[in-house]
Amino acid sequence: MGVLSDKLEMGVWPTAFANDDLYWVIYTGAIVQFFPLRGAMTNTHANYIVVVKRDCPTCVLVEPVLAQLQATGCNLQVWSQDDPTFPETVTDVGDDSNLEQSWILKIETVPTVIRMEEGAESERTVGWDRSEWLRLFEQDELVAELPDFRPGCGSKSVEPGMPEKLALRFGDISLQSRQIVVGDMEDAMESCFERGWSDGLPVVPPTQLRVVRMLAGTNRDPAEVLGEVPPDLQPCTVEKVAINAVMAGCKPEYLPVVIAAVEACLIDAFCMHGLLATTWFSGPMVIVNGPIARAIGMNSGGNALGQGNRANATIGRALQLVIRNVGGGKPGGVDRATLGNPGKYTFCFAEDEESSCWESLAVQRGFKPEQSTVTLFAADGVQGIADQKSRDPESLCRSLAASLLTVGHQKFAVHSDVFIVLVPEHQRIFADAGWSKQKVIDTLMELTTRPGSELQPGVGGIAEGMPEFVKDMQLPKFKPGGLNIVRAGGTAGLFSAIIPGWLASGDFGSSPVSKEIVI
């Protein structure tokens, strides 16, 4: 063997030499490994790509296997993610420290072996599985001393935040929105304030990377135009929604909900332009139904209408920012609210469907329970109802009706729609009596219907009132279908809420609209 070694040119790394039933892999004249020749390559038509990293015990484990395969004539290209000198016993290791090849090849685990035939991938395997490697490489034996199986390690290309960076660097992602360069000495957050992109609270600067990460939350094309956002009627793409979702503080998994909310606000029946221009209090309220509400951790329980839940807070805010930054709907401009209400920052919550004894709002509006939806309502502020003594549905309905009569004004009829957010303890009173949601609604509609004569100007010493021509009519407080009930809130406290809305009479004003959420 020493004589044979003398014939090898020193410094070749590595060099293979076969004799009888053995071959040797030699590095700078020293034998570092040997393997049985019976495992030599018989397939000459396939090429193989192997992606490894030194910081992976399984990749280190299979190094002698790779050396054996290369020495026997296997057409092998090895790419190393973290060290171009690894594996030492393999020649022509490719440097993939920029992870371009790993991104192109969609590597999630190392080692990954990809079999290529006629220039295309035919199959792949990950980790070390002796039987799979033997089959893939068409071998009889591979380094008998190794165990039969070892799982691989995570690829560096799928480390947190890395896929988006690689997609920007090497992919075909091309953001269409105009980029604003912020100076080195300029504070990015203050820059957003100065450019008028904020609702008055700090926003997250929408860097390219953050926008790409946000877009990963949906399968929809970033260039897809959802419609024209009022009041300026500017085209709004999925990318534009993603930018504003970043600024609002959303997570990528919230993006489909925000997109659906934007689509809903562009439905004619919602009348987004009119809602902006009115001097009334209202702004968009978003109610989320279906599996996605639970999947993204929305709050439908205690403090559901308040602060503290990221999804609730940022989804509603993102919709408002789209209206502001894409459509141009800013206070003092087209937004002419006399007072407004705090919900114009954000007003979003999920319905408590799982604990409810009634069908959800979405099912009531024609969707299936497995569908995820948003429903938009032109909402005012929250009007509380305290009834801690009623123990039968009739009494509780009278309490609710008395408060409903004050919506807008006690003398108004068929003026606006309304939502009742019924808390669990109040719903239980109806459930125990076997009342359906529709029975509650029908009872409330009956209890809030009054003679037009009682609503005339001057009655009760109040100048406000309905026109004289209705004085002989029976007037419902709300139009048919205008009274809605959803369940939400904590399990302790007999305090439900009325959420009145903007004008909803005849062909004027806004009606609630619903939209399915598409991932």
- The span from the CA of 132 to the CA of 389, in Å, is 71
Q: Tell me phi and psi for residue 115, to 5 degrees.
A: -90, 125
- The span from the CA of 425 to the CA of 420, in Å, is 14
Tokens of 468: 């004289």
CA distances from 20 to 38, 230, 325 (A): 10, 82, 77
Q: Which residue's entry shows tokens 């919550």?
A: 349
| Class of residue 225 by CB neighbours under 10 A (exposed 0-12, middle 13-18, buried 19+) | exposed
- Predicted local distance difference test score (pLDDT) of residue 410: 95
Of 383, 375, 327, nearest to 348 by C-alpha is: 375
- The span from the CA of 170 to the CA of 9, in Å, is 41
- Given a cut of 60, is residue 29 above it in pLDDT? no
- Given a cut of 60, is residue 353 above it in pLDDT? yes
Angle at 287 between CA 286 and CA 289, to 5 degrees: 140
- The span from the CA of 333 to the CA of 515, in Å, is 28
Quote the percentage of the chain above a pLDDT of 70. 91
Reported as a pLDDT band with limits 50, 70 and 90, residue 204 is very high
Write the CB contacts of 53 (distance below 8 Å, at least 6 apart in sequence).
Answer: 59, 80, 81, 82, 83, 86, 110, 153, 155, 156
Residue range 272-323, pLDDT digits in tens: 999 999 999 999 999 999 999 999 999 999 999 999 999 999 999 999 999 9
Rounded to an integer, what is the distance from CA 337 to the centroid of its chain?
A: 31
CATH of 32-158, one of 2.40.37.10, 1.10.150.120, 3.40.50.2300, 3.40.30.10: 3.40.30.10
- Predicted local distance difference test score (pLDDT) of residue 506: 57
Strand stretches in 325-390, DSSP E:
348-350, 373-379, 383-386
Residue range 205-263, pLDDT digits in tens: 999 999 999 999 999 999 999 999 999 999 999 999 999 999 999 999 999 999 999 99
Render the burial of 342-353: b for 16+ CB within 10 Å, e for the rest.
ebbbbbbbbbbb
Radius of gyration for the alpha carbons in the chain, expressed in angstroms and rounded: 33
pTM, rounded to two decimals: 0.80
- Given a cut of 90, is residue 25 above it in pLDDT? no
Tell me the average pLDDT of the chain.
90
- Predicted local distance difference test score (pLDDT) of residue 22: 37
Q: Any idea where the domains of the chain sit in the sequence?
A: 32-158, 188-455+465-516
Q: Tell me phi and psi for residue 201, to 5 degrees.
A: -105, 155
Helices 208-215/162-170 angle, 10° precision:
110
CA atoms within 13 A on the CB side of 277: 9
Over residues 45-62, mean pLDDT: 94
- Given a cut of 80, is residue 173 above it in pLDDT? no
Tokens of 46: 């396939």
Q: Regarding beta strands 234-237 and 120-126, do their DSSP bridges make them parallel or antiparallel, or are they unpaired? A: unpaired
